Structure 1
Amino acid sequence: MLVHKAYKYRIYPNEEQQRLIHQMFGCCRFVFNYFLGLWKGTYTATGKGLSYNTCATELPSLKKDYEWLKDADSIALQSAVRNVADSFDRFFKKQNQAPRFKSRKYPVQSYTTKYTNGNLAIKGDQLKLPKLGWIRFANSRATDGRILSATVRRNAAGKYFVSIVCEVDVQSLPQTDKHIGIDLGLKDFAVGSDGMRVAHPKAFRKHENRLAMWQRRMARRTKGGSNWQKAKNKAAYIHEKIANVRHDFLHQLTTKLIRENQTISIEDLNVTSMLKNHRLAKAISDASWGEFERQLSYKSQWYGRIVKFAAPFAPTSQRCHGCGFIHKEVKNLCVRQWKCPSCGTVHDRDENAAHNIKDVAV
Structure 2
Amino acid sequence: SYTTNCINGNILIENGYLKLPKIGFVKLKQHRQIPSDYKLKSVTVSQTPSGKYYASVLFEYESQVQEKEPHNFLGLDFSMHELYKDCNGNEPSYPRYYRQAEKKLKHEQRKLSLMQKGSKNRGKQRVRVARLHEKVANQRKDFLHKQSRQIANAYDCVCIENLDMKAMSQALHFGKSVSDNGWGMFTTFLQYKLEEQGKKLVKIDKFFASSQICSCCGYKNPETKNLAVRVWDCPECGTHHDRDVNAAINIRNEGMQIVFA
**What TM-score do you get using the length of structure 1 for normalisation?**
0.66
RMSD over aligned CA atoms reads 1.8
- Check conservation: 2:162, 2:203, Cα contact below 8 A: yes
Task: Give 1:174 shift.
Answer: 8.2
Question: 1:297 and 1:118 mapped to 2: Cα distance?
Answer: 34
Which of 1 and 2 has greater Rg? 1
Q: Deviations over 1:60-105 (max 9, x none)?
A: xxxxxxxxxxxxxxxxxxxxxxxxxxxxxxxxxxxxxxxxxxxxxx
Displacement of 1:220 in angstroms is: 0.5
C-alpha distance after superposition, 1:148-183 (max 9, x if no partner) = 110111110011110011123446478451011111
Q: In structure 2, which of residues 19, 30, 36 is the aligned counterpart of residue 128 of structure 1?
A: 19
Q: CA deviation at 1:235?
A: 0.7
How far apart, in 2, do the equivalents of 1:278 and 1:237 lie?
A: 30
Q: Contact (CA 8 Å) 1:183, 1:357: kept in 2 or not?
A: yes
Q: Deviations over 1:198-234 (max 9, x none)?
A: 1223121111111111110011010111111111111
Once residues 299 and 214 of structure 1 are traced to their aligned partners in structure 2, the CA distance between those partners, rounded to angstroms, is 37
The match for 2:95 is: 201
Q: Is the 8 A contact 2:76 2:160 kept in 1?
A: yes
Alignment of 1:310-325 (within 5 A): 310-325=204-219
Q: Please say if residues 170 and 303 of structure 1, whose CA atoms lie closer than 8 Å, have aligned partners that are also in contact.
A: no
- Mapping of 1:57-206 within 5 angstroms? 110-144=1-35, 145-170=38-63, 172=65, 175=68, 177-206=71-100
Structure 1 pair 337–263 and aligned structure 2 pair: CA distance change class (3 A): same
Q: Once the two structures are aligned, what percentage of the paired residues are identical?
A: 35
CA distances 1:226-267 after superposition (whole Å, capped 9, x unpaired): 111111111100111111112112222222222221111000
Secondary structure at the aligned position of 2:160 is classed as strand
- How far apart are the structure 2 equivalents of 1:168 and 1:203? 37
* Preserved CA contact (<8 Å) 1:171 1:302: no
Deviations 1:174-198 (A, max 9, x none): 8451011111111211211133321
Residue 202 (structure 2) pairs with residue 308 (structure 1): yes
The one of the two structures with greater contact order (alpha-carbon pairs below 8 A, sep at least 6) is 2
Q: 1:298 is aligned with what amino acid?
A: Y
**Cα distance, 1:130 vs structure 2:** 1.4
**Unaligned stretches of 5+ in structure 2?**
none
Q: Give the TM-score normalised by structure 2.
A: 0.90
Instruction: Check conservation: 2:67, 2:199, Cα contact below 8 A.
Output: no
Which residue identity lines up with residue 83 of structure 2 in the other structure? F
CA drift of 1:359 comes to 1.6
Q: Which has the higher helix share?
A: 1
Measured after TM superposition, the shift of residue 345 of structure 1 is: 0.7
Q: Unaligned 5+ residue runs, structure 1?
A: 1-109
Measure, in 1, the Cα distance between the counterparts of 2:153 and 2:66.
7
